[in-house]
Amino acid sequence: MSHLMNTYARLPVAFERGEGSWLWDLQGRRYLDALAGVAVCGLGHAHPRLTRALQKQVATLIHTSNIYEIDLQSKLADRLAAISGMETVFFCNSGCEANEAAIKLARLYGHKKGIEAPAIVVMEQSFHGRTMATLTATGSRKVQAGFEPLLSGFVRAPFDDLEAVRRVAAGNRSVVAVLVELVQGEGGVNVCSPEYLNGLREICDQNEWLLMLDEVQTGTGRTGKWFAYQHSGVQPDVVTLAKGLGNGVPIGTCMAAGVAATLFTAGKHGSTFGGNPLACAAGLETLAIIEEDGLMQNAVEIGDYIRGELRAHLSGIPGVKDVRGVGMMVGVELAFPCGELVTRALAAGLLINVTNDTVVRLLPPLIYTREEARMLLDMLVPLIQEYVAEQTAAGTPQAASHAA
């Protein structure tokens, strides 16, 4: 009997080492990584430059405390402010902690406006974490089930539906903010329309709401920009970030601008480990490598290539509903549950993920080469084709194909 608490449905593989876009298991078998620790390892594994920076920092100073000045934390905050246009940065350890900080900022903002029970608009099919506040904000009954009573203070709207948010604005005076992912990762790699963010900014400005963006998965270059909102001209009030910032070293941030940047004062929020010297050294080096090695442009070029090839090979196949995504976020939606593809891909030496039951999700490292992308396609396309053919032959209910 394992002494590990039963919180994960683990796959039957353990990895011993990694290099670039590849991982090796305990038996020495090699796997192509198309998941990157769920969008964490954008630089791949054992990046030589990051390794040297971390070794140097470990040998110098790992942790002090936020009751003292931390020089590397100030430097990383300055760097994040410069690339994001935000004004202040709070450091924590994970995405859900970053979103917790954003939720607390919204509530402080509401109370400052004299609203006793401030509410936040959140979206269906969203995912913001597994703490009590963030799982309440999450738009998935599967995540929430069994943890009732959930917290109050959230109003839900359909994703990418501006009229629904306008109806909320017209009917609820307690709303103070919107919290939204521009690409829903866990929800099925759902990409919002180009006009959505501009519309949300307009609604927030008209109603004096905070526009809060969850960039935990989309941030740090994964969509081809430092942040997904930078594909538009919109500047948010609050942005959360985590996953790819430390390339595997735990770090999260909640960044704020304007009135939101003034809400936290000493004692209102904190973190024991957040922004310690090791985490900030990882963040600074990761950002430097992404910029100097042109990895955001690579994410655009390789991501477009992968989606284009998937559309070319899967278009018109009954049971394949859509191929979508942006940058190094790729989703292939089937007309039926496809979790079994994860174990079939593993057997073929490929690491992928299935989210929202029916969407094959790919989150490769930003360093992928064209050759590695070709290898991914050579392994994945036949798996999907065979699986869809099996489901079709078995008479599994399916919708018509609409692959672009």
Cα(362)–Cα(330) distance, integer angstroms: 5
Q: Is 214 known to be catalytic?
A: yes
Cα(394)–Cα(51) distance, integer angstroms: 49
159, 243, 321, 322: the catalytic one is 243
* Full DSSP string of 240-301: EE-GGGTTTS--EEEEE-GGGGGS--TTS---SSTT-HHHHHHHHHHHHHHHHTTHHHHHHH
Q: Is 243 known to be catalytic?
A: yes
Query: In this predicted model, what pLDDT tens digit does every residue of 221-266 receive, in sequence order?
Result: 999 999 999 999 999 999 999 999 999 999 999 999 999 999 999 9
Residue 396 has a pLDDT of: 79
Per-residue pLDDT of the chain (404 residues; tens, 9 = 90+): 789 999 999 999 999 999 999 999 999 999 999 999 999 999 999 999 999 999 999 999 999 999 999 999 999 999 999 999 999 999 999 999 999 999 999 999 999 999 999 999 999 999 999 999 999 999 999 999 999 999 999 999 999 999 999 999 998 999 999 999 999 999 999 999 999 999 999 999 999 999 999 999 999 999 999 999 999 999 999 999 999 999 999 999 999 999 999 999 999 999 999 999 999 999 999 999 999 999 999 999 999 999 999 999 998 899 999 999 999 999 999 999 999 999 999 999 999 999 999 999 999 999 999 999 999 999 999 999 999 999 988 887 654 444 44
Q: Is 273 known to be catalytic?
A: no
91, 127, 159, 264: the catalytic one is 127
Residue 166 burial by CB count (10 A; 0-12/13-18/19+): exposed, middle or buried?
A: middle
Distance of CA 10 to the CA centre of its chain: 20
Cα(327)–Cα(296) distance, integer angstroms: 8
The pTM is what?
0.96
Q: What angle do CA 270, 276, 281 make, to 5 degrees?
A: 140
Residue 25 has a pLDDT of: 98
C-alpha distances in Å from residue 320, one per residue of 125, 193, 288, 335, 398: 20, 21, 39, 6, 9
33, 214, 237, 322: the catalytic one is 214
Residue 392 burial by CB count (10 A; 0-12/13-18/19+): exposed, middle or buried?
A: middle
Residue 305 has a pLDDT of: 98
Query: In this predicted model, what pLDDT tens digit does every residue of 305-351 receive, in sequence order?
Result: 999 999 999 988 999 999 999 999 999 999 999 999 999 999 999 99
Please tell me whether residue 51 adopts helix, strand or coil conformation.
helix
Query: In terms of Cα–Cα distance, which of 213, 287, 263, 253 is closest to 92?
Result: 253
